[in-house]
Amino acid sequence: MDTQSLYALTALFDTPDDVVHAADTVASAGYTKFDVNTPYPVHGMDRAMKLKPSRLGFFALAFGLLGAFSAVGFISWVAVVDYPLVIGGKPFWSWPAFVPVSFELTVLLASVLSVVAMIVIYFKFPNNSHPLHDTPYMRHVSSDKFGICVLATDPQFEEATVRKLLASLNGKDIAPVYYVFDDINHGQSLFDPKFIAVLVLTAAVVSGATYVTFNKLLFIEPFTWMSDQPKLKAQKPSSLFNNGIGMRGAVPGTVARGSLPYAFAGKPDTAAAYLVNPLVPTEEVMKRGREKYLTFCSPCHGNVARGDSRLRGQFPNPPTLHSDKVRNWPDARIYAVITDGQNVMPSYASQIPRDDRWAIIQYVRVLQRSQNPKESDLK
Amino acid sequence: MTDASFATPLVKKELPGSVQRLAWILLAAGVVVIAAAYMVDVRRSAFNNIVLFLFVTSLAGGSLLLIAIEYMSGAVWSVPMRRVVEFIAGLTPLAPLVALPCLLTMHDLYTWTNTEAMAGGGALHAKQPYLNLQFFVIRFVVVFLAWNLFYWLYTRNSLKQDTTRDPALTTFNIRMSAVFLPVFALTVTVTAIDWAMSLEPHWYSTIYGVYYFAGTFLAAVACATYIIVRLNEAGYLPGLRRDHYYSLGALMFAFVNFWAYIAFSQFLLIWYANLPEETFWFMTRWKGGWEYFSIGLIIVHFAVPYFALLSQDSKMDPRRLKFMALWILVAHLMDLYWLVMPTYSPTLTFAWIDLFFPLIVVGAVMLLLTVKMRRHPVMPIGDPKLARGMDFHL
């Protein structure tokens, strides 16, 4: 017992009225460091204990403002500076749309951080122990009794006097509470392996249970009218065919329309030497080429192929197609780039059919001519 | 507590004669001014009459709801003040009288009374089974019959309890409140749709009833707060403390927020969807001078009361409460004006008529209080929860 110090003297009362009266008397006797523990909030206690109004409200206000300003600031930055998108024809800074989220964040930060502040300030986090823990006093005041504890740190604390005062108020089970100094101030650590292990285990169990509950047990599919259709899906099995595979392979010895094999994959120079553009620059070919160019090529290459991307620098800009090098390439060399891809440019073989690729090349030729006209074009 | 402890304060229960004289003067002046206004400009007066009617309905219906909620929630703190709210709910039988001039000038007010326009097909044609004069009047009568029935039952039981002290009367009122709450939800929505929303028969907003309800409850709490604080300061409600005030202030603060929440919800969805048949209602309130009124409404109805009632102290401070209660009543009038008047004139215009219509309400409430306080105790002295209510601490 000699390593233990006195924390407080506690007393229990049977009714809320008794404890309010006791708190009033103790406070009137000049004690400032005492606390009342009750199983539920007792009205009129603040006044009886002569407490000053709580300052937690100012924390809540500050955290609420923090939430409001950070939400409005972040959304504004995203919507106006970093990734401006036109949505529904509205201005980038459409503040009404920001209000619900800002409101939520305000409430969230104000409430959660107030609790955190309370834990840090009043419970002296990371200390997670308290002398009243595991005492008969705490067992009673958290179920069926109302308790008052006068702390030994009170300037006018004197065990005998306090004991007499509490007894005169008809307090029951008047008992001292001791604590080991080291336990309170040095015994606990956030990085206690046991604490961390329990934390991790709790997190795993809670997320696992949540996952199973909401994805397996209680899973309610949303409207499935569109996703569940009696049709074959790419890459999916199907019971319709004997081999159980939904997708059909080519019939041996045949070539599907539009799927002529490309013999020059990875060999652009060979392609340039052997392939010839099968299309001639008619108006029809030009229209097709222009349409496909504007759809597939212009986002990166720009509308006139200067390499001036329309994508606000989110992808690296390609070089201009008006360089001498590209202008002097044969059509098939460009065809090889579209088909195979080059550097960061991926292959467009699956998006653009063969003839459209040739049509695009015809259109690119026109663009090149428009930027570097011959003497004869000006007449 | 014993009977004796309440007998002393109730000696001083009649309001001074000067209040009654002032009430009669205000009431008479109000009637004269309204009559004069109708002679000058029938159409403008009729629109102002809707604002006035909705305001009186707010106070009456909101007070009834306040009583019902006290019974339903088993609240203790509000018991000593319930009788004052019952007095204010005495506006319930009077509110239909205020609506009578409107019923005589329906064609000036509501375009849907033009049956030819309604028969023309389209959206209006589809609303014709609801928006027609006969059904409108039926709804009006049913709503106020229901409200008056509940008003009569509540006050009858409450007053009977003063002498019998029978707790069964409280039980009966609790059961009745369970019936009244859904009835009120329905009837207040019908009132809002009929009298205010149908001014623009093309337009619709499903949250409109809740919007009006938010203002209704807020106005009733503000009116009760002002009267309770004044009466208490004059010594009519002995025993009421700042602890009791706090809940009134908290209710006002809560419903200032609720009003803003609902008002913004209504705006946000319409603004987001951007459908012409919905947005025009806000467009008319955003041009022709109305945009200043709209911004003013946000400041007066939300920003100022929000910050004025934010701190715990301000919710208990009698001076602040009295001022903010009057402020909120004005704000509610402004809100109703904003709902109704753009239909009268797409450009914002003010006339002396607009200012003097509410005069009659002040007179009516004051007269109601003097008359009722002369006849009945100003606290529900027979209520079994009264002693606990008087002893209420935060």
User: What sign does the CA torsion over A49, A50, A53, A56 have?
Assistant: negative
CA A176 – CA A153 distance, rounded (Å): 13
Q: Is the pLDDT of residue A2 over 80?
A: no
pLDDT band at B253 (very low <50, low <70, confident <90, very high): very high
Q: Find residues 261-280 of chain B whose CB sits inside 8 Å of chain A.
A: 264, 267-268, 271-272, 274
Q: Which residues of B touch A90 (CB under 8 A)?
A: 274
Look at residue B7 in the predicted model and tell me its pLDDT: 45
- Cβ A46–B392 below 8 Å, yes or no? no
Q: Which of A19-33, A174-188, A224-238, B44-58 has the lowest mean pLDDT?
A: A174-188
Q: Which residues of B touch A43 (CB under 8 A)?
A: 392-394
Decide if B17 contacts B374 (C-beta within 8 A). no
Q: Which among B314, B387, B377, B388 is positioned nearest to B163, based on CA atoms? A: B377
Q: Which residues of B touch A64 (CB under 8 A)?
A: none
Instruction: Indicate the Cα dihedral angle A63, A66, A70, A73, nearest 10°.
Output: 150
- Cβ A96–B272 below 8 Å, yes or no? yes
Which CATH number characterizes residue A294's domain? 1.10.760.10
Mean pLDDT for chain A overall: 87
Domain end point (choices A165, A185, A205): A185
Nearest to B312 among A57, A88, A97 (CB): A57
A355-373 pLDDT, tens digit each: 899 999 999 999 998 888 8
Do A147 and A12 have their domain in common?
A: yes
Look at residue B3 in the predicted model and tell me its pLDDT: 45
Do A155 and A286 have their domain in common?
A: no
Identify whether A131 is part of a domain. yes
Q: How far is CA A124 from the centre of its chain?
A: 30
Identify whether A53 is part of a domain. yes
- Among chain A residues, the shortest Cα distance to B271 is held by A96
Q: Tell me how close the Cα of B393 comes to any Cα of chain A, in angstroms.
A: 5
Structural domains in chain A (count):
2
Identify whether A218 is part of a domain. no
Helix%, strand%, coil% for chain B, nearest 5: 80, 0, 20
Phi-psi region of B120 (alpha: psi -120 to 50; beta: other; left: phi over 0): alpha
User: What sign does the CA torsion over B169, B171, B175, B181 have?
Assistant: positive
Do A42 and A160 have their domain in common?
A: yes
Residue with tokens 């705490």: A138
CA A68 – CA A104 distance, rounded (Å): 9
Phi-psi region of A236 (alpha: psi -120 to 50; beta: other; left: phi over 0): beta
Look at residue B121 in the predicted model and tell me its pLDDT: 67
Residue with tokens 């919507």: A79
Q: Which residues of B touch A97 (CB under 8 A)?
A: 268, 272
Q: Which residues of B touch A50 (CB under 8 A)?
A: none
Nearest to B393 among A43, A96, A97 (CB): A43
Residue with tokens 């106005």: B219
Domain that holds residue A133: 4-185
Buried b or exposed e, range B300-315, using 16+ CB within 10 angstroms: bbbebbeebbebeebb
Nearest to B267 among A43, A46, A96 (CB): A96
B275-329 pLDDT, tens digit each: 998 999 999 999 999 999 999 999 999 999 999 999 888 999 999 999 999 999 9
Quote the DSSP letter at residue B391: T
Residue with tokens 């306080």: B373
Identify whether A112 is part of a domain. yes
What are the residues facing B135 on neighbouring strands?
none
Do A42 and A177 have their domain in common?
A: yes
Q: Tell me how close the Cα of B268 comes to any Cα of chain A, in angstroms.
A: 6
A204-258 pLDDT, tens digit each: 999 999 999 988 888 887 788 887 788 888 888 888 888 888 888 888 888 887 7
Look at residue A223 in the predicted model and tell me its pLDDT: 80
Q: Determine contact: A96 vs chain B, CB below 8 A.
A: yes
Q: How far is CA A234 from the centre of its chain?
A: 32
B127-176 pLDDT, tens digit each: 888 999 999 999 999 999 999 999 999 999 999 998 888 899 999 999 99
Mean pLDDT of B15-31: 92
- Cβ B272–A47 below 8 Å, yes or no? no
- Three-state secondary-structure class, residue A251: coil
Decide if B13 contacts B378 (C-beta within 8 A). yes
Q: Tell me how close the Cα of B242 comes to any Cα of chain A, in angstroms.
A: 12
Buried b or exposed e, range A264-291, using 16+ CB within 10 angstroms: beeebeebbeebebebeeeeebbebbbe
CA B393 – CA A12 distance, rounded (Å): 22
Q: Determine contact: B292 vs chain A, CB below 8 A.
A: no
Q: Tell me how close the Cα of A63 comes to any Cα of chain B, in angstroms.
A: 15
- The 10 Å Cβ neighbour count of residue A29 is 13
Phi-psi region of B77 (alpha: psi -120 to 50; beta: other; left: phi over 0): alpha
Mean pLDDT of B38-45: 92
Do A178 and A275 have their domain in common?
A: no
Identify whether A37 is part of a domain. yes
Supply the ipTM of this predicted assembly.
0.80
Q: Determine contact: B306 vs chain A, CB below 8 A.
A: no
Residue with tokens 């079994």: B384
Decide if B325 contacts B305 (C-beta within 8 A). no
Do A83 and A179 have their domain in common?
A: yes
Look at residue B2 in the predicted model and tell me its pLDDT: 42
Q: Determine contact: B298 vs chain A, CB below 8 A.
A: no
Helix axes B133-164, B42-73, angle to 10 degrees: 40
Mean pLDDT of A96-119: 93
Residue with tokens 């064609």: B107
Q: Find residues 235-254 of chain B whose CB sits inside 8 Å of chain A.
A: none
Domain end point (choices A141, A161, A185): A185
Look at residue B1 in the predicted model and tell me its pLDDT: 40
Identify whether A211 is part of a domain. no
Nearest to A53 among B267, B274, B312 (CB): B312
Q: Determine contact: A41 vs chain B, CB below 8 A.
A: no
Decide if A305 contacts A364 (C-beta within 8 A). yes
Domain end point (choices A127, A161, A185): A185
Identify whether A76 is part of a domain. yes
